[in-house]
């Protein structure tokens, strides 16, 4: 609890996955993917309770090995790839309110973001509370600027972003950010009323690209492994 507010973290982990089979519990450097997110929750200074929301007995078993609670299994209507994350979180909040009582803040932490750290999470929580906002989402700098991207309409290249200055050097282009999928923080009242994580008043939490890999395919696993190795090397050098 912080500032008198109870915080619930929800780790959504559906059993079925299209890109990588059993993605949420695949091994990454000898550790189940979901284990990285569970460990971050355990290391956080501010999270009061963290749970895994899943429809899979296998994921439930693995999650419990890492110390996470799995107090319920998702109903069938939230178990397929059409289920929306907001509905999964609202269901989890509702189930926990029945068991434990009310929470003021809920955090969505996807298990496909293994490079986020407890420091990232705690700093995001502090930024959220300091801002007085009802929602925060983590972002990282976009690798490609939408200014140099084009759509093709009726056989012609069409700008996505109207930007004057085609001769501007790439280094002088504005900086754009993309959601990295690592952290979503919301006031519980907000998601109940608006049924969304992000609105026009959402504040950003900027993360380094090396903490922002979102596992979607085999290539992402290789990239995440590279950054984990680099992190270990840096830690060894500091000792």
| pLDDT tier at 164, thresholds 50, 70, 90 | low
**pLDDT surpasses 70 at 167:** no
With a pLDDT cut of 90, the percent of the chain lying above it is 79
pLDDT at 170 over 80: no
pLDDT above 60 for 166: no
Instruction: Please tell me the CATH superfamily of domain 7-141+177-238, with its number.
Output: Spore Coat Polysaccharide Biosynthesis Protein SpsA; Chain A (3.90.550.10)
Position 134 scores a pLDDT of: 98
pLDDT category of residue 169 using cuts at 50, 70 and 90: low
Q: Looking at per-residue confidence, does 234 or 14 come out higher?
A: 14
Q: What percent of the chain has pLDDT over 70?
A: 96
Q: How far apart are CA 89 and CA 188, in angstroms?
A: 10
Cα–Cα distance between 92 and 88 in angstroms, integer?
A: 6
Torsion sign across C-alpha atoms 27, 28, 29, 35: negative
Q: Average pLDDT for residues 97-112, to the nearest whole number?
A: 97
Domains of the chain by residue range: 7-141+177-238
Q: How many CA atoms lie within 13 A of 207 on its CB side?
A: 28
- What does 154-180 look like in DSSP terms, one character per residue? TTEEEESS--S-TT--GGGSPP-EEEE
Distance (Å, rounded) from C-alpha 214 to C-alpha 229? 17
Asked which of 29-43, 70-84, 151-165 is least confident by mean pLDDT, the reply is 151-165
pLDDT in tens, 140-160: 999 888 888 899 999 999 988
Identify any residues that bridge with 41 across adjacent strands, giving them in sequence order. Answer: none
Residue 39's pLDDT is 98
Q: Of the candidates 44, 14, 17, 15, which has an alpha carbon nearest to the alpha carbon of residue 221?
A: 17
Residues 56-67: tens digit of each pLDDT = 999 999 999 999
């Amino acid at each position: 609890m912080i500032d008198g507010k109870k915080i619930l973290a929800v780790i959504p982990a559906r059993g079925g996955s299209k890109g990588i089979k059993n993605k949420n519990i695949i091994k990454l450097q000898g550790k189940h993917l979901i284990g990285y997110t569970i460990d971050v929750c355990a290391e956080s200074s501010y999270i009061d309770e963290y749970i895994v929301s899943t429809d899979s007995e296998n994921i439930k078993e693995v999650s419990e090995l890492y110390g996470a609670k799995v107090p319920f299994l998702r109903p069938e209507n939230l178990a397929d790839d059409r289920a929306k994350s907001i509905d999964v979180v609202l269901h989890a909040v509702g189930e926990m309110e029945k068991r434990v009582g009310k929470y003021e803040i809920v955090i969505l932490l996807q298990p496909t973001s293994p490079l986020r750290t407890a420091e990232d999470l705690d700093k995001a929580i502090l930024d959220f509370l300091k801002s007085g906002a009802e929602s925060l989402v983590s972002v990282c700098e976009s690798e490609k600027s939408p200014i140099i991207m084009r759509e093709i309409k009726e056989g012609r290249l069409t700008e996505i972003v109207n930007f004057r200055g085609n001769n501007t050097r790439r280094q002088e282009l504005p900086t754009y950010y993309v959601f990295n999928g690592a952290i979503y923080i919301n006031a519980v009242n907000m998601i109940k009323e608006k049924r969304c994580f992000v609105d026009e008043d959402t504040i950003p939490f900027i993360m380094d690209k090396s903490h922002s890999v979102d596992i979607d395919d085999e290539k992402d696993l290789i990239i995440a492994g590279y950054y984990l190795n680099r992190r270990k090397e840096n830690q060894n050098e500091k000792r």
